[in-house]
Structure 1
Amino acid sequence: MKLKEISEVIIRKATKSDAKSLIDYLDIIGGESDFLTFGPGQFGRSVEQEEEFIQSVLTKENALFIVAEVEGKLVGNLNFSGGPRQRNAHVGEFGVSVLRECWGNGIGEKLIQYLIAWSKDSGIIRKINLRVRSDNTRGICLYKKLGFKEEGIAKRDFLIHDRFYDSIIMGLPID
């Protein structure tokens, strides 16, 4: 799929009714990329647990869970969680993913732009962090394009098929 072929991408907050679709989606993407923190069959939540997770995000002022849909099909998601205490509630980390069939259409970028706008409007979030595998050049280029800066390296952060990978820690100040 190319963006010009996609009639419309809808970015919206996740709801409890998305739980089953999200579980199905996560089972697919776990096998599509080694850049995620889980592989095929490793996500490890039931539909009920996913419903509870979504509900818990909806109750927090410094958390966001959004999905991307194309023609009613879930094709991407982004989850952001701010710190649990007053001293770190202003900062959080996110993860983002898009179905492989939709890569290159700007969907991940739209999800992150939504997060940045939401953070600015929140009055709470002052910094967004992420970790990206050091060999994920497409991801790193996207994050830099959106203003994220490299802040450090986490050595041996991923272990996939008995091989270690480093992660680059990146951040974006909001104010």
Structure 2
Amino acid sequence: MTASPITLRRSTTADAADMARIMGDPEVVPGTLQMPYTSVELWQARLADNNTPGKPDLHLVAERDGRIVGSAGLHPMPQLRRRHVAMLGITVAGEAQGQGVGKALMQALCDYADQWAQLLRIELTVFADNARAIALYRQFGFQTEGTHRAYAMRHGVYTDVLAMARLHPHPPTLSWPSA
């Protein structure tokens, strides 16, 4: 049986309950830097902040059959000298992992970064033992730049993460009119 198509759209505050469901999933939380026992109210506030007029962040959700099965975002750096950089975060619901949701979200974010957002560099961190995520990131040109040892606590153990980044594969050029 073929899986239903994935639809991507910008998140809204109405997605807070689905975000709390996904981020409260015991299969999902250990792969993120989020804390367990999240709440709908927390996600309402985060989603409202992401959609503040003028804020450059992009937060997308992936839907299948009307149910949110993943989310991802690009969060530009506020420092003037790093405005060409954004942090990437992505989460796929446990029941939807390995079904193309992460790939669809990554493709959309990379296209947005390359074609619209004037981003030269996208950065992320990933737990060093998350082979599936690392393989996905490498498909989109991300390279490992280093290891942060004992970066975050997970299940009572300080765990390493990889710092990965992707540079724009074809940085924009200026087309001068011929004289």
TM-score, with structure 2 as normaliser: 0.85
Match of residue 11, structure 1, among 2, 8, 11: 8
Letter in 2 for 1:32: E
Q: CA deviation at 1:21?
A: 2.7
The partner residue of 1:59 within 54, 59, 66 is: 54
User: What is the count of residue pairs matched by the alignment?
Assistant: 168
1:54 alignment partner AA: N
Shift in Å, 1:47: 4.9
What SS does structure 2 have at the residue aligned with 1:65?
Answer: strand
Structure 2: runs of 5 or more not aligned: 172-179
Mapped contact 1:68–1:76 kept (Cα < 8 A): yes
> Residue 32 of structure 2 aligns with which residue?
36
| Corresponding residue to 2:45 among 8, 33, 49 | 49
Q: In structure 1, what residue type is equivalent to 2:55?
A: K
- Specify which structure has the bigger relative contact order, considering alpha-carbon pairs within 8 angstroms and separated by 6 or more residues: 1
Task: Tell me the TM-score normalized by structure 1.
Answer: 0.86
Q: CA-atom RMSD, angstroms?
A: 1.9
8 Å Cα contact 1:149/1:171 also seen in 2: yes
Q: Pick the aligned partner of 2:124 from 130, 142, 151.
A: 130
Which residue of structure 2 aligns with residue 76 of structure 1? 70
Gaps of 5+ in 1: none
Distance 1:85 1:44 in 2: 30
Q: Which structure 1 residue ranges, 4+ long, deviate > 6 Å from structure 2?
A: none
Counting aligned pairs with the same residue, the percent is: 26
* C-alpha distance 45-5 of structure 1, shift in aligned 2 (>3 A): same
1:37 is displaced (CA, Å) by 0.8
In 2: Cα distance, 1:13 partner to 1:146 partner: 21
- Tell me what 1:91 maps to: 85
Report if the CA contact (8 A) 1:127-1:171 is conserved. Answer: yes
Q: What is the CA–CA distance in structure 2 between the aligned matches of 1:154 and 1:107, rounded to whole Å?
A: 27
Over alpha carbons, which structure has the higher Rg? 2
What residue in structure 1 maps to residue 106 of structure 2? 112
Matched-pair contact (CA < 8 Å) for 2:12–2:48: no
Question: 1:136 and 1:51, CA in 2 relative to 1: closer, same or farther beyond 3 A?
Answer: closer
8 Å CA contact 1:9–1:70 kept in 2: the answer is: yes
Q: Which amino acid aligns with 2:64?
A: V
CA 1:73 to 1:173, structure 2 compared with 1: closer, same or farther past 3 Å?
same
Tell me the CA shift for residue 164 of structure 1.
Answer: 1.3
